[in-house]
Chains A and B, each alone.
Chain A
Amino acid sequence: MATLIINEKKYKIDADPEMPLLWAIRDSVGLTGTKYGCGKGLCGSCTVLLDGKPIRSCLTPVSQAEGAVILTIEGVENENKVLQEIWADMNVAQCGYCQSGQIISALALLKENNNPTDEDIDTAMNGNICRCGTYQRIRKAIHKTAELTNTTTIK
């Protein structure tokens, strides 16, 4: 048995310690917002935050995630609702499949850097592939979120 802390909830699961966190989250816990894309850490669809850092859950064994604080797309509304709202408002998504990973990566970037440049965004988001090609809107959504969040903070 392993215990995972996901979106502030504890889950006791019966999973092989070697099982990638991705499949534990999806199949054992049943949170399907985190996606499989490549299984090799190449596309970023499976990105979640582990103790605040973005990681590829398809490569991270359950044993390494035990006891850590895990955030998946289902928990983003409690972390950065503005990002989520802007993302929806700018209609970033096309098919939507990679967007959980994109949003988690963007969330991590904005935690580190509240006013990223295009270059900062490209660097932070380069591990996340979008086959639909929504990159232009991703950049805009991150800029807009930074702008709104910063204004709110000043107020």
Chain B
Amino acid sequence: MSAIHIVTRRSFIKSLGFASGGLIFACSIPSSTENKEQKPFNGSIFEPNIFIQLKDNGELVLLATRSEMGNGVRTSLTSVIADEMDADWEKVSVLQATGDAKFMDQNTDGSRSVRFLFEPMRKMGATARAMLVAGAAKKWGIDANKLKADNHYVINTENGDKLFYGDLVKEASEVPVPENPVLKKPTDFKYIGKGLKSIDSKGFVSGKPKYGIDIKLEGMKYAAVARCPVTFGTVKSFNKDEALKVKGVLDVVEIPRIAKPFGPLGGVAVIASNTWAALKGKEALLIEWDNGANETYSSESYDAMIEQNVLKKGKEIRNDGNIDREFKNATQTVESTYHLPHLVHAPMEVPNATGWVHDGICEVWAPVQAPQATRKEVADYLDTSLENVTINVTFLGGGFGRKSKPDFVVEAVILSKIIDAPVQVIWSREDDIKHSYYHAVSAQYMKGALDENNKVTGWLHRAAYPSITSTFAPDTGYAAGFEFGQGMTNLPYAIENIRCENVKAPAHVRIGWLRSVYNIIQGFSVNVFADELAVKAGKDPLQFRLDLIGPDRIIKNNQEDYHFDSAKLKHVLRTAAKNANYGKKLPKNHGIGIAVHYSFYSYVASIIEVSVKENNLKVHSIHSVIDCGTAINRNTITAQMEGAAMFGLSLAFYGKITAKNGAVEQSNFHDYQMLRISDAPKVNVEIVESQDKPTGVGEPGVPVIAPALINAIFNATGKRYKKLPLMDEGLV
């Protein structure tokens, strides 16, 4: 199982076109982690591997190695261990791991925590169970085959005698670690596939869980950093007099930009005795900036440019058959251009970090999605070894991809080193909106050919968007294979003639990944364009789409061990249609829209019903269906799909980041709005029953929402919106 992961990650790096740019640091699973890291028995705790501690009172401490940001991972992966271990969930508590390669890949993004770790965690749990059973067999002096484990006990199946797990810590510690422990049959799962509540649900209502921003250390100072409004601009000069007059401000220092993918932008930092003084002091700084080359970036002209350029031929990245011939022979053709703006994650908890450099070591407390990458960035900055750096992962008040990039952590470390005290850096909401790693702006041109039977015979998809690779390597203006593969080059439609092209679009801000990434862009155009084709063909959009997906077939993915199954894609669409009662007679001014998308190896369909009265849009219902293979935690999956629908509506309604003279124009929730409860429709979620390997959950629910909404609005009004957000159209 580890071999699969190694191949996966290496090939991903390869597809990015650079060797070790910083996206992924933990490329392999150390074999020692699997089950050989058994610690010597200390007298009261059984530790069969680094993920499990069973105490002699029965308390079971399980390690969460992935970051908790609403994804429910502290519950899902630990419950997998507990299930295979036949442990009592009531006795489980969860310990958050620090960033360390021995815990395997900890990078909590790409909707892959469960996909990567389901099997390894099963094995961890099964190892512990086998050892407890073997320990009991030894204690009783009978054959282990006569024993079974159940709910924190080993039971003698012949006479019903029981031994409590806590009473077996010594014996279990003394038996050899099995090489290949027997895994449970899925039918015997007790927690997997059910809907365990979050292990933190009680904490979350108490105000007690510690997020990064809640860390308080003895002698800790607070810091706010003023950064150049233009990306990569630098400080020319600054005056700190007014800032120093603010009560509580202690010092003002300049920090450099570190020109690395996850390096801080640099700027002027205000150190204070409380957060408010730091923020107020920052406002009082007078800074003259050297804006640098990105000063020319203005969305108005840039967007017009990529919309023009996308009409001209680009670099071919997929070419099947002969679309030029098909367009010539077509009975009808359809052309469309779509434009989607930059977006920003805006997690409710702003970027923040607490760093403390002391006595030759560095300790960090921070809400990070990638603790190993964070550790490496900090160690590199301090020019020390990884062992001298500890990354304590707090709860994350949302991540959505922003907190994969530890630039904000390095700021805290720089400042702690300068002032020789623990420092907590806090970004204001304005800092967060104005200095992020943005979701790419995009223009896309599509052209389709229909024959005399209204069958789609040709499909051209041309996309222009700045690439995430621009953050990691010199910008060529072209995007990369892993970006095209998010809904464009892996088009799941049975069309003989397909051409995909990429058009240059240089980056002028830092580009990063945001929940679902380029699937948002390409999932939008493919789903809206398919609807436009259906309309042109005079066919029902649902049947038309099922025909486009075509016959049952498997499309092999040579880089991964997961293959596309067209039957699954049709199944989620049909199921959503059934749940939404598709085809029912709709009230006046109502419309229904569909979208279906394959991402992170999961299959999702959403059907949205809207009404539009006097240009007033209301979303009445969303029916989403996901096939994510084996469902580990139905409660979490349902919650993620509900949340993904809100995330999708937010971006469709309001999401837009623009730049003028290089500076981001939005600043806070009044001009970068979020969906609020009054706009939130009911979301119905169905999870397809499956025994296949688990696939992504956190992101796949997002890309379908905006296109299903656009298609529903068309169905209601006959008007096709090709640009987002809809607030610019006066609809919301």
Residues of A within 8 A of B (CB): 15-16, 19-20, 23, 26-28, 30-40, 42-43, 45, 72-74, 76-77, 84-85, 87-89, 91-100, 103, 121-123, 125-126, 128-139
Assess whether B429 is in contact with A37, with CB atoms less than 8 Å apart: yes
A84 to B202, CA, bound (A): 8
* Shortest CB distance A61–B (Å): 10
Assess whether A96 is in contact with B428, with CB atoms less than 8 Å apart: no
CB neighbours (8 Å) of A91 from chain B are: 197-198, 201, 635, 639
* 28 A-B pairs (CB sep. < 8 Å): A23-B276, A27-B222, A30-B216, A35-B349, A36-B426, A38-B429, A73-B205, A73-B207, A74-B208, A84-B205, A87-B205, A89-B197, A91-B635, A92-B204, A93-B205, A95-B70, A95-B397, A97-B398, A122-B678, A131-B398, A132-B643, A133-B646, A134-B643, A135-B676, A135-B677, A135-B680, A136-B642, A137-B639
Assess whether B643 is in contact with A94, with CB atoms less than 8 Å apart: yes
Q: A27-B274, A92-B205 are in contact. List 9 more A-B contacts (CB 8 A).
A: A32-B207, A37-B669, A88-B201, A93-B198, A97-B395, A99-B204, A130-B646, A131-B647, A134-B639
CB neighbours (8 Å) of B178 from chain A are: none
A103 to B207, CA, bound (A): 10
Residue of A nearest to B209 (CB): A96
- Asked if B279 is at the interface of the complex by the 8 Å CB criterion, the answer is yes
In the A-B complex, the 6 residue pairs with the smallest Cβ-Cβ separation, listed nearest first, are A33-B207, A133-B646, A97-B397, A94-B70, A95-B70, A73-B207
* Shortest CB distance A128–B (Å): 7
Assess whether B274 is in contact with A133, with CB atoms less than 8 Å apart: no
Assess whether A42 is in contact with B276, with CB atoms less than 8 Å apart: no
CB neighbours (8 Å) of A31 from chain B are: 207
Assess whether B248 is in contact with A16, with CB atoms less than 8 Å apart: yes
CB neighbours (8 Å) of A23 from chain B are: 274-276
Q: Which of B207, B276, B348, B396 is A130 in contact with, Cβ under 8 Å?
A: B348
Residues of B within 8 A of A (CB): 68-72, 197-198, 200-211, 213-214, 216, 222, 247-248, 274-277, 279, 346-350, 395-400, 426, 428-429, 635, 639-640, 642-647, 650, 668-670, 674-678, 680, 682-683
A142 to B725, CA, bound (A): 31
A123 to B208, CA, bound (A): 28
* Shortest CB distance A43–B (Å): 5
* Shortest CB distance B457–A (Å): 40
Interface centre among B214, B643, B646, B675 (most CB of A within 10 A): B643
CB neighbours (8 Å) of B203 from chain A are: 96
Residue of B nearest to A15 (CB): B274
Assess whether B676 is in contact with A129, with CB atoms less than 8 Å apart: yes
CB neighbours (8 Å) of A19 from chain B are: 274, 276
Q: Which of A30, A39, A95 is B398 in contact with, Cβ under 8 Å?
A: A95
Quick one: given A23-B276, A97-B211, A133-B646, are A88 and B348 in contact (CB under 8 Å)?
A: no
CB neighbours (8 Å) of A36 from chain B are: 213, 275, 350, 426
Residue of A nearest to B426 (CB): A36
Residue of B nearest to A96 (CB): B204
Q: Which of A43, A96, A121 is B669 in contact with, Cβ under 8 Å?
A: A43
A23 to B208, CA, bound (A): 17
Assess whether B642 is in contact with A133, with CB atoms less than 8 Å apart: yes
Residue of A nearest to B395 (CB): A96
Assess whether B639 is in contact with A42, with CB atoms less than 8 Å apart: no
Q: Which of B201, B277, B680 is A133 in contact with, Cβ under 8 Å?
A: B680
Q: Which of B197, B276, B640 is A20 in contact with, Cβ under 8 Å?
A: B276
A30 to B346, CA, bound (A): 25
Q: How many A-B residue pairs have CB under 8 A?
A: 186
* Shortest CB distance B198–A (Å): 6
Residue of A nearest to B350 (CB): A36
Q: Which of A33, A37, A85 is B208 in contact with, Cβ under 8 Å?
A: A33
CB neighbours (8 Å) of B645 from chain A are: 133
CB neighbours (8 Å) of A32 from chain B are: 207, 210, 213-214, 216
Assess whether A35 is in contact with B397, with CB atoms less than 8 Å apart: yes
Interface centre among B276, B395, B668, B680 (most CB of A within 10 A): B276
Residue of A nearest to B276 (CB): A23
CB neighbours (8 Å) of B640 from chain A are: 94
A136 to B649, CA, bound (A): 14
A70 to B640, CA, bound (A): 34
A84 to B399, CA, bound (A): 25
Quick one: given A32-B210, A126-B678, are A43 and B348 in contact (CB under 8 Å)?
A: yes
Interface centre among B216, B279, B429, B644 (most CB of A within 10 A): B429
A85 to B349, CA, bound (A): 24
Assess whether A42 is in contact with B670, with CB atoms less than 8 Å apart: yes
A137 to B399, CA, bound (A): 20
* Shortest CB distance A85–B (Å): 8
A34 to B167, CA, bound (A): 42
CB neighbours (8 Å) of A20 from chain B are: 276
A38 to B275, CA, bound (A): 13
Assess whether B680 is in contact with A37, with CB atoms less than 8 Å apart: no
Assess whether B646 is in contact with A135, with CB atoms less than 8 Å apart: yes
Residue of B nearest to A77 (CB): B206
A103 to B204, CA, bound (A): 10
Assess whether A40 is in contact with B642, with CB atoms less than 8 Å apart: no
Assess whether B70 is in contact with A96, with CB atoms less than 8 Å apart: yes
CB neighbours (8 Å) of B429 from chain A are: 37-40
Assess whether A133 is in contact with B207, with CB atoms less than 8 Å apart: no
Assess whether A95 is in contact with B346, with CB atoms less than 8 Å apart: no
Q: Which of B276, B279, B347, B677 is A131 in contact with, Cβ under 8 Å?
A: B347
Assess whether B209 is in contact with A134, with CB atoms less than 8 Å apart: no
Quick one: given A32-B210, A74-B206, A74-B207, are A38 and B669 in contact (CB under 8 Å)?
A: yes
Q: Which of B72, B676, B677 is A94 in contact with, Cβ under 8 Å?
A: B72
Residue of A nearest to B349 (CB): A97
Assess whether B207 is in contact with A72, with CB atoms less than 8 Å apart: yes
* Shortest CB distance A62–B (Å): 10
Assess whether B677 is in contact with A132, with CB atoms less than 8 Å apart: no
CB neighbours (8 Å) of B202 from chain A are: 88
A89 to B204, CA, bound (A): 11
CB neighbours (8 Å) of A134 from chain B are: 639, 642-643
Quick one: given A88-B202, A97-B211, A126-B676, are A131 and B428 in contact (CB under 8 Å)?
A: no
A126 to B674, CA, bound (A): 11
A32 to B275, CA, bound (A): 13
CB neighbours (8 Å) of A129 from chain B are: 348, 669, 674, 676
A133 to B214, CA, bound (A): 23
CB neighbours (8 Å) of A97 from chain B are: 211, 347-349, 395, 397-398
Assess whether A132 is in contact with B398, with CB atoms less than 8 Å apart: yes
* Shortest CB distance B269–A (Å): 18
Interface centre among A40, A89, A121 (most CB of B within 10 A): A40
A134 to B275, CA, bound (A): 29
A137 to B397, CA, bound (A): 18
Residue of B nearest to A27 (CB): B274
Assess whether B206 is in contact with A73, with CB atoms less than 8 Å apart: yes
CB neighbours (8 Å) of B650 from chain A are: 131, 133
A83 to B206, CA, bound (A): 11
* Shortest CB distance B632–A (Å): 15
Assess whether A28 is in contact with B70, with CB atoms less than 8 Å apart: no
CB neighbours (8 Å) of A103 from chain B are: 205
Assess whether A131 is in contact with B674, with CB atoms less than 8 Å apart: yes
